[in-house]
Amino acid sequence: MRALLRSMVLVLAIPLWPVIARADGARPVFAADFETSCISGQDWRISSQLDSVVHSSRIRCVETAGGQHALGITVKPGDGYDPNPGSVPTERAEVQLRHEVVRFDAATWYSFSFRIDGDWPSHKNRTVIQQIKQNIDPRYEKGRGGEETCDAANPLFKIEVDSDGATPVFRAKVAGTQGCGDSVGQQRFCGDWPVETGRWHRVNVLIRPGRAEGDSLLRLWFDGRACPVYRGLLGYPRYGVKRQGTPVIDTQPRFGIYRDALPETAQTILFDDILFWDESPAGHPAWAGIDPALPR
């Protein structure tokens, strides 16, 4: 009798396993765990422009008020400075994912949380906190003596926390063009929405970069609030970097602060729960209340 009961329990238990897996959502292909490790050289690269002497003070893991750990990134005047001749000087402190998680003509889902701490400039100043980029092929980049005179590429997708002149604001921009030129093909498709200092905010992204007009799909949610769906071109299919003749996204997701240079002003941002999927994460807690399904 006991043996029969044990058999019945096993039979009843087996169907529950896939149900539990679905309830948790798809398994991420990459997850940053700042509780057990900080920035691993195997997973991340640090801005090459950032002086190695100040790495540890600009990019570190910090303990939050709740006792958890997060990635803290600070930029100070002169960090990663680029005089950027012909445009606005910039500075940065960023980390870039080494893994190829975003590709043309393939869907990627990702999510992360961020919190801006301390003083955030109240005047308008371009401040990128997350970006994905396809650079211009060196053969066509201005100043390299190649076949064309393209300016350096704008990120095909970027998120900014700027200011409306009084408070921080969230906005998102895209860039895509068959031609080339500074800011050609760039447009804002979401924002401006208020950002609270000292509070965690959640960002969810579904991106499928396409190489032809209308082939891309970009969906973005800020604290569960949906941005308009973007369907245009993303990247530089004609003049962008290629691999074996096929356009590639050579600059994978970056997190941190990239801004127009500011004298005497430091900024700090925290990141946590950085997760990437190559299939729908429906059911995962990071997507609670959001339908990540691909449109049919």
pLDDT band at 247 (very low <50, low <70, confident <90, very high): very high
| Counted domains in the chain | 1
Arithmetic mean of pLDDT over the chain: 88
Q: Which residue has the tokens 């905010």?
A: 201
Are the CB atoms for 155 and 133 separated by under 8 Å? yes
Structural domain includes residue 19: no
What's the mean pLDDT in 281-290?
A: 96
Structural domain includes residue 60: yes
Structural domain includes residue 294: no
- Residue 182 phi/psi, 5-degree rounding, is -60, 120
| pLDDT of amino acid 184 | 74
144: left (phi over 0), alpha (psi -120 to 50) or beta: alpha
- Pairing of β 217-222 and β 225-226: antiparallel
pLDDT band at 145 (very low <50, low <70, confident <90, very high): low
What's the mean pLDDT in 235-241?
A: 94
| pLDDT of amino acid 1 | 43
| pLDDT of amino acid 141 | 85
| pLDDT of amino acid 228 | 97
What's the mean pLDDT in 170-196?
A: 90
What's the mean pLDDT in 215-239?
A: 96
CATH number for 66: 2.60.120.200
Any idea what the Cα angle at residue 166 is, between residues 161 and 170, rounded to 5°? 20
Q: Determine what percent of the chain is predicted with pLDDT higher than 70.
A: 90
| pLDDT of amino acid 146 | 66
Structural domain includes residue 132: yes
| Separation of first and last alpha carbons in the chain | 52
Helices H / strands E in the chain, number of each: 3, 17
| pLDDT of amino acid 53 | 86
Task: Please check the confidence at residue 35 and state whether its pLDDT lies above 90.
Answer: no
Structural domain includes residue 14: no
Task: List Cβ<8 Å contacts ≥24 apart for 176-179.
Answer: 176/216, 176/232, 176/233, 176/234, 176/235, 176/236, 177/233, 177/236, 178/213, 178/233, 178/237, 178/238, 179/238, 179/239
Structural domain includes residue 172: yes
Structural domain includes residue 22: no
Structural domain includes residue 118: yes
Least confident of 14-28, 82-96, 260-274: 14-28
| pLDDT of amino acid 296 | 75
Residue with the bigger pLDDT between 275 and 25: it is 275
The residue range of the domain holding 223 is 30-280
b vs e for 182-213, b when ≥16 Cβ sit within 10 Å of the residue's Cβ? eebbbeebbbbbebeeeeebbbbbbbbbbbee
Task: Please check the confidence at residue 105 and state whether its pLDDT lies above 90.
Answer: yes
Task: Please check the confidence at residue 149 and state whether its pLDDT lies above 90.
Answer: no
pLDDT band at 262 (very low <50, low <70, confident <90, very high): very high
What's the mean pLDDT in 118-143?
A: 91
pLDDT one-digit tens code per residue, 45-58:
999 899 988 989 99
Task: Please check the confidence at residue 8 and state whether its pLDDT lies above 60.
Answer: no
Task: Please check the confidence at residue 295 and state whether its pLDDT lies above 90.
Answer: no
| pLDDT of amino acid 33 | 80
pLDDT band at 18 (very low <50, low <70, confident <90, very high): very low
> How many of the other CB atoms lie within 10 Å of CB of 69?
18
